[in-house]
Amino acid sequence: MQRHSERVSVYWQLRRAQAPNVRQLVNAMCGVPKSIRAHLTRSVGACLIVLATAFLGMPSRTALGAPAQVYGLGAIPSDTEVRAWDISISPDGDGLPKGRGTVQQGADIYSIRCAECHGQQGEGGDAEALAGGHRTLRSPRPLKTVGSYWPYSTTVWDYVNRAMPFDRPGMLTADQVYAVVAYVLFLNGIVEQAAELNEDNLADVIMPNRDSFVPAQELDPVIEPSRPGIQGQ
């Protein structure tokens, strides 16, 4: 995090240093009379004034304290537009829409929309298995399913919502997605048969394999085969 903000700040310093011609920038940014512009560009604190002028010229594009746009292209969407585009779901449940669905409701939808490819009990078929495979990950034949492998219940919700059913992605309502996820988690013994999932409790479901994922950057110094004795000569 720290490294990134340093990076961004260095980037902006470079951007400013690279600005080829302060006068051009001023000309482009606002319609101040020429004589005043010439005076400004000659002044010692030109850079600061450019930023201030940009702020005055395009107030809608510039948040207070934020660097101005260099090129000023692109439109600023309304909050409503952004909300309509943004279907992402975070592991903490951020972004989950209101809705609810039970295991029982999920079973009905699953048998119509999912079972043909994934099997009646999630055992797999033309598409991958969704249930089973518990305690197989260390075996020679690991079975990676939602129950045995997927680390977050929110990922299941998000993926069903955006990509399933395969032939008609996007057709399920939020309630139906909660229901199908509840059923798939039930098939894996992760929630009870009487369970209902909604936007408040989905992210609280702890998946069995949640803590088994390690960023490669942390692993590689230990296990990267290219490194010991091979890096360099």
Partner 1 sequence: MHRLKCVRFLSRQFARLGYQAGTAWRTGSNWRWLGTGSRRRFFGFGLIGGSSLLACRDTATDEKAERLLGSPVSRYGGRSPFETAGRHLRTTRTPESSSSRTPLADSSGILTPSSLHFERHHAGVPGIDPVEHRLLIHGMVDRPLVYTVADLKRLPSVSRACFIECAGNGGSEWGPRTAPDVQQSHGLASCSEWTGVPLSVLLSEAGTKSESSWLLAEGADACKMQRSVPLEKAMDDAIVAFGQNGEALRPEQGYPIRLVLPGWEGNTSVKWLRRIKVWDRPHMTRDETSRYTELLRDGRSRQFSFVMEVKSVITFPSGRHKLPGPGHYEIRGLAWSGRGAIERVEVSTDAGHTWIEAELQEPRLPKAFARFRLPWRWDGGRAVLQSRALDELGFRQPTVADLVWARGASSAYHNNGIKSWQVAPDGWVSNATA
Is residue 152 part of the contact set for partner 1 (CB under 8 A)? yes
Between CA 128 and CA 163 the distance in angstroms is 14
Is residue 223 part of the contact set for partner 1 (CB under 8 A)? yes
Between CA 7 and CA 227 the distance in angstroms is 28
Q: Considering only 20-28, 59-67, 108-116, 193-201, which stretch makes contact with partner 1 by CB under 8 A?
A: 59-67
Instruction: Write down the least CB distance from residue 75 to partner 1, Å.
Output: 5
Which residues are CB-contacts of 96 (< 8 A; sequence separation ≥ 6)?
A: 89, 154, 157, 199, 202, 203
- Give whichever of 44 and 75 is closer to partner 1, judged by the CB atom: 75
Residue from 39, 169, 173, 204 touching partner 1 (CB under 8 A): that is 169
Strand partners, 100: 198
Between CA 55 and CA 190 the distance in angstroms is 54
- Give whichever of 48 and 223 is closer to partner 1, judged by the CB atom: 223
Residue from 8, 28, 38, 206 touching partner 1 (CB under 8 A): that is 8
Between CA 185 and CA 191 the distance in angstroms is 6
Between CA 23 and CA 28 the distance in angstroms is 9
Is residue 66 part of the contact set for partner 1 (CB under 8 A)? yes
Is residue 192 part of the contact set for partner 1 (CB under 8 A)? no
Between CA 152 and CA 183 the distance in angstroms is 15
Is residue 13 part of the contact set for partner 1 (CB under 8 A)? no
Nearest to 170 by CA among 181, 162, 178: 162
Is residue 76 part of the contact set for partner 1 (CB under 8 A)? yes
Q: Which residues bind partner 1 (CB under 8 A)?
A: 1, 3-5, 7-8, 11-12, 15, 61-63, 66-67, 69-71, 73-77, 81-82, 85-91, 126, 137-138, 140, 142, 144, 146, 149-152, 154-155, 158-159, 162-163, 166, 169-170, 212-217, 219, 223-227, 230-233
